[in-house]
Structure 1
Amino acid sequence: MTDQQTIDAYTAHVADYLKVPLPPEQIESRVAFADAVGSGLVLDLGSGPGSDSAFFLRQGLRVRALDATPAFVEHARENGVDAHLGTFDDVTEVAEYDGVYASFSLLHAPRDAFPRHLAAIHRALKPEGVFFLGLKLGTGEHRDHLDRYYTYFTRPEIEAALTTAGFTIDRITTGMGTGLAGSYEGFILVLAHA
């Protein structure tokens, strides 16, 4: 994610972001991801302030966090997370990770970049590596009132994109929730493997 307006919006709302409660479906999916990985190295892609990374560390996983917002990276580092400043295009590893966790981060990438990012994630995973993808459901692209850029996908589009990238989908959960902007929207949580 390289959209400066989105990065600026997150920079201005770090404290508010930390107060946004996770919906129960996301909490359960995060646990399911950690259980599926078991042990090893996880990439928290678009890690935000590192809350999920900290959870994975407590579960005994090794974690590398990557985010494009310097304020998020700084907050994560202050809390013991191995956080790095970077974008989705910085995922260049091959068969490096036992799991990749992309929780509501890839929705900030342009639609035409989505297949390329999924392919890079697939390459970065070890064989049978676990992938978690959280996205908002919908169509089109727009900015919210905080000026964050969003790309929305339908469930069939997400399933097709994952299959094309070489993933096998293990589980899909959908729900409704309220994010940082306060809007109540549908979401999809996908657990898959390479």
Structure 2
Amino acid sequence: MTQDKRTIDAYTARVADYLKIPLPPEQLEARQAFADAVEAGGYVLDLGSGPGSDSAFLMRQGLKVRALDATPAFVEHARDNGVDAYLGTFDDVTEAEEYDGVYASFSLLHAPRSDFPRHLSAIHTALKSGGQLFLGMKLGTGEHRDDINRYYTYYTQPEIEETLTTAGFTIDRTVQGIGKGLAGSYDGFILVFAHA
């Protein structure tokens, strides 16, 4: 995957602002539900981890976490706060049967539509049998940039479910909501719980 420099620059310039965004209740509940679904002491990949806030939460729940993000400023912030964070892209998910869970909270929406199926397949391969996936995505159609120049790909719920099923996942449940993001807009989102 070619990294989108404008998206990374937008995040680099707004690390402090990103940390102030309150999570909607649906996301707070989903994060806890994911932590509860992974076996105690399990190994989790936080894919597109941002500045590591979710990683730190999952660590406090007793999970071992590896964080991966393409924005150097986010990785640096996460490391400074005790998170095992690495600089990398979705293409760096090359493990096989390594993780008890993969937490992909509003990260894969930055990947081009054509890459989405193979990224989900790589995640499925990286998960142990029965491993948990949490996927947060914005709902909509098409691909475009937001008001702060981040690249987004939007999906409908049926598109997401079909792509997950094709990649080998079993969908356990979905939750929809609306939240205010870094750009200040209110967007519909879907939270998906699935397992390998």
With the length of structure 2 as denominator, give the TM-score of the two structures: 0.98
Q: 1:183 aligns with which of 171, 182, 185?
A: 185
Deviations 1:45-101 (A, max 9, x none): 000000000000000000000000000000000000000000000000000000000
Q: Which runs of 4+ in 1 moved over 4 A?
A: none
Residue identity in the other structure for 1:6? T
Residue identity in the other structure for 1:16? D
Residue identity in the other structure for 2:116? F
Q: Which runs of 5+ in 1 are unaligned?
A: none
Partner of 2:39: 38
| Superposition map of 1:53-92 within 5 A | 53-92=55-94
2-structure distance, mates of 1:81, 1:177: 26
2-structure distance, mates of 1:10, 1:99: 25
| Superposition map of 1:37-186 within 5 A | 37-39=38-40, 40-186=42-188
Secondary structure of the 1:189 match is strand
| 1:159 Cα offset (Å) | 0.5
1-structure distance, mates of 2:4, 2:92: 15
Percent identical across equivalent pairs? Answer: 79
2-structure distance, mates of 1:24, 1:170: 20
Deviations 1:110-133 (A, max 9, x none): 000000000000000000000000
With the length of structure 1 as denominator, give the TM-score of the two structures: 0.99
2-structure distance, mates of 1:22, 1:87: 24
Partner of 2:23: 22
| 1:24 Cα offset (Å) | 0.2
| 1:154 Cα offset (Å) | 0.1
Number of residues paired by the alignment? 194
| 1:38 Cα offset (Å) | 2.5
| 1:145 Cα offset (Å) | 1.1
Secondary structure of the 2:49 match is coil
2-structure distance, mates of 1:27, 1:108: 22
